[in-house]
Amino acid sequence: MPKAHDILVAVLLAGFAPGLARAHEPIFGIGPRTIWKNGFGLETELEREREEVENVWSLREEILYGISADVALTLEIPYLLEKSDGRSQASGFGDTMLRGKWRFYRKEVWGGIYHAAILGGVEFPTGKTSGVALGSGSYDYFTGLAGAYEGRRWLNFGAVRYRFNTADKTGFARPDVFLYDAAVGFRPVLTEYTQPDVVLMFEINGEVFGKARRNGDPVAGTGGDRMFGAFGVWFTYRNWAFKPGVQFPLVQNMGPLRPRRDFRAVFAVEFHL
Amino acid sequence: MKKRLTTLASIAALAAASLLVPAPSPAQILEAELTVKGLACPFCAYGLERKLEKLPAAASVAITFKQNLARVQFDGRQSPDIGDFFRLVHDAGFKLEELRLLVRGRRAETGGEPCLELPGGTTLPFAAGGPGAALAREVPAGTLVEARATVKAAEEGGRTGPYRLLVKSYKALER
């Protein structure tokens, strides 16, 4: 029999799917944008997430490097400042992720760009799994596809991802997740290069969960789907970006073991050098 | 006596300084205007600025979204390779649609074709059309010429180049 606590932790961690703000992209989704060749980006994200009695405050440090103008690598190191399940709490490093992006298509137009990228990544079990777990205890993988048109006034993004979660040492595997994102951005004032720039973002983020598995067998009460709406803003000035955003549930059809998410909020600061 | 010694010391210092600081080459790219496709947001264009700053002797880079333009001023001590403009813009994630130069070079010949010789021995043949034909006909070889010109790049086997200069205007400076 699966332990309810295991499953609770597992489905909660599944919410840590890759896809928070990075580069000039949707705040909760993902886009095809890469960084220039040999460019570095540093991003710090403060995130708050609440799901009924579950409460998480976390910091993420991301280091982005452009191998070429169309191939980028990102190392993501999460640090959970506080994770509480209503009874106890913990803090420490979560699961580190290494991901890559290959922008296989780009068509530059006047004042805009159409582009698309293939995404892939691996999450390493670097977070502790005892007590209030901060990591999954398993190597997990994701792959996906992202496309966008980014113009001066309007920006449109779309992405699909699939996350494969493998079993931990106890034979428990969190559910695989299919994620889809759509986002629209609007730049109310067309500023010049040396002026501060503002883009308003609206996003739809969906997650479809498979069943959790124990020793290969599906676990009852797991799986389901949920959809969120999100508002965010990009404030950028040259190589600095400030990206606050809040995500709220629209639909949640999850199993009885999964707490309902109340909200998720992110404040990200990114610096390119 | 003391005044004379001071004067001599000043002259010696100036002579030493002139040996340390290389004189600007008479042949040089003075200014480049790059019309760039894909310029949409300042945060992404920062990479273009960083790349263009890497051009040899780039003194300043100014990007204007309204005109899809990046303007680079050079200090004249060195001169970038024409291919660097195309490569760096591509590496920044954009497309260089047109490159216009204010350039100073020697009127020369390459492969039997009239051309402008830039610093480092780079030769740019004239493209057909425009005042380039008059320049080739009327200005003797070896003359220093200042020209405003558009660089025409041929696309060959996925690579950009070789390049030709479509001269828009010119003036002969000296022999």
CATH number of B28-174: 3.30.70.100
- The whole-number pLDDT of residue A12 equals 40
Please report, for residues A45, B17, B68, the alpha-carbon distance to residue A60 in angstroms, rounded to integers and kept in the order given.
5, 52, 35
The pLDDT of A216-220, averaged and rounded, is 90
pTM over 0.95: no
CB-based contact B45 A192, cutoff 8 Å: no
Looking at every residue in chain A, the average pLDDT score rounds to: 89
- The whole-number pLDDT of residue B3 equals 64
The yes-or-no verdict on residue A249 having pLDDT over 70 is yes
Chain B residues closer than 8 Å to A194 by CB: 42
- Read off the pLDDT of residues A176-196 as tens digits, 9 standing for 90 and up: 999 999 999 999 999 999 999
- Tell me how close the Cα of A218 comes to any Cα of chain B, in angstroms: 45
CB atoms within 10 A of CB A223: 19
- The whole-number pLDDT of residue A141 equals 95
CB-based contact A108 B43, cutoff 8 Å: no
Please report, for residues A22, A109, A130, B140, the alpha-carbon distance to residue A106 in angstroms, rounded to integers and kept in the order given.
19, 10, 45, 46
The pLDDT of A210-239, averaged and rounded, is 93
The pLDDT of B23-27, averaged and rounded, is 54
Q: What is the separation of C-alpha B4 from the centre of its chain, rounded to a whole number of angstroms?
A: 44
- The whole-number pLDDT of residue A250 equals 96
CB-based contact A112 B40, cutoff 8 Å: yes
- The whole-number pLDDT of residue B4 equals 67
CB-based contact A237 B63, cutoff 8 Å: no
Chain A residues closer than 8 Å to B68 by CB: 110-111
Chain A residues closer than 8 Å to B66 by CB: 192
- Tell me how close the Cα of B92 comes to any Cα of chain A, in angstroms: 4
Given phi > 0 = left and psi -120 to 50 = alpha, else beta, which region is A215? left
Q: Which site among B37, B46, B61, B91 would you substitute to test the A interface, given the most A Cβ atoms closer than 10 Å to its Cβ?
A: B46
Tell whether B147 is within 8 A of chain A (Cβ).
Answer: no
CB-based contact A70 B93, cutoff 8 Å: yes
CB A156 within 8 A of CB A42: no
- The whole-number pLDDT of residue A23 equals 57
Pick the residue from chain A with its C-alpha nearest to B48.
A36
CB-based contact B37 A152, cutoff 8 Å: no
The yes-or-no verdict on residue A11 having pLDDT over 80 is no
Which range is least confidently modeled, A5-14, A44-53, B11-20, B35-44?
A: A5-14
- The reply to whether ipTM tops 0.95 is no
DSSP A30: -
- The whole-number pLDDT of residue B121 equals 77
- Read off the pLDDT of residues B67-107 as tens digits, 9 standing for 90 and up: 999 999 998 777 788 889 999 999 999 999 999 999 888 89
Pick the residue from chain A with its C-alpha nearest to B63.
A193
Domains with residue ranges and CATH for chain A: 4-272 (2.40.160.40)
Burial of A89 by CB count in 10 Å (0-12 exposed, 13-18 middle, 19+ buried)? middle
- Read off the pLDDT of residues A115-147 as tens digits, 9 standing for 90 and up: 999 999 999 999 988 888 888 899 999 999 999
Of A34, A197, A234, the CB nearest to B93: A34
Given phi > 0 = left and psi -120 to 50 = alpha, else beta, which region is B80? beta
Length of chain A: 273
Tell whether A108 is within 8 A of chain B (Cβ).
Answer: yes
CB-based contact A239 B43, cutoff 8 Å: yes
Tell whether A149 is within 8 A of chain B (Cβ).
Answer: no
| Alpha carbons B95 and A241: distance in angstroms, whole number | 24
| Alpha carbons B170 and B143: distance in angstroms, whole number | 12
Pick the residue from chain B with its C-alpha nearest to A192.
B65
CB B34 within 8 A of CB B49: no
The yes-or-no verdict on residue A105 having pLDDT over 90 is yes
- Read off the pLDDT of residues B53-67 as tens digits, 9 standing for 90 and up: 999 889 999 999 999
Of A251, A268, A247, A174, residue with least CA distance to A212: A174
Burial of B65 by CB count in 10 Å (0-12 exposed, 13-18 middle, 19+ buried)? buried
Tell whether B68 is within 8 A of chain A (Cβ).
Answer: yes
The pLDDT of A191-206, averaged and rounded, is 95
- The whole-number pLDDT of residue A15 equals 40
The yes-or-no verdict on residue B20 having pLDDT over 90 is no
| Alpha carbons A44 and A61: distance in angstroms, whole number | 5
Tell whether B54 is within 8 A of chain A (Cβ).
Answer: no
Residue with tokens 């991901």: A99
**Per-position b or e across B73-107, b if 16+ CB within 10 A of its CB:** bbebebbbbbeebbbbbbbbbbbbeebbbbbbbbb
Of A106, A151, A238, the CB nearest to B46: A238
Tokens of A186: 């609007």
- Read off the pLDDT of residues B115-157 as tens digits, 9 standing for 90 and up: 888 867 778 888 888 888 888 888 888 899 999 999 887 765 5
CB-based contact B41 A236, cutoff 8 Å: yes
Share of chain A above pLDDT 70, in %: 92
**Boundaries of every domain in chain B:** 28-174
Tell whether B170 is within 8 A of chain A (Cβ).
Answer: no
